[in-house]
Structure 1
Amino acid sequence: MSVIYILLSISIIVAVIFFIAFIYAVKNGQYDDSYTPSVRMLFDDELVKEQPKKTIIKPKKTN
């Protein structure tokens, strides 16, 4: 039973460390993106151009 308490305490410590790292990254602007939202509307509905089919040109026979 004591193993459960040890594992639970270790998992809580790891979770707190990851939460602190996340808060630190957010405060330092790691997730700030001011460019993409302004141009996203230009590229969302972009039409996909179909590639023309390649035709095989057979060489003419010369006599």
Structure 2
Amino acid sequence: MVQTVLSNLPALLFTLALGAALLGLLVWALAAQGAASKRTAQVLWALAAGLGLVGLIRLVVAP
């Protein structure tokens, strides 16, 4: 089961990137109300961009 998931690593990275981006959006909405830090949202968006970029590179470079 784990082997199947890891064989589709680019798809997994894109999924994790989407989740991080959506979580960043939620934190950003909370920050607009003063309940969270905008820095946390920015970190989550940077994480999402990094995961998406790594997923894209793995997809292009994969044999």
TM-score (norm 1): 0.43
More relative contact order, 1 or 2 (CA 8 Å, 6+ apart): 2
TM-score (norm 2): 0.43
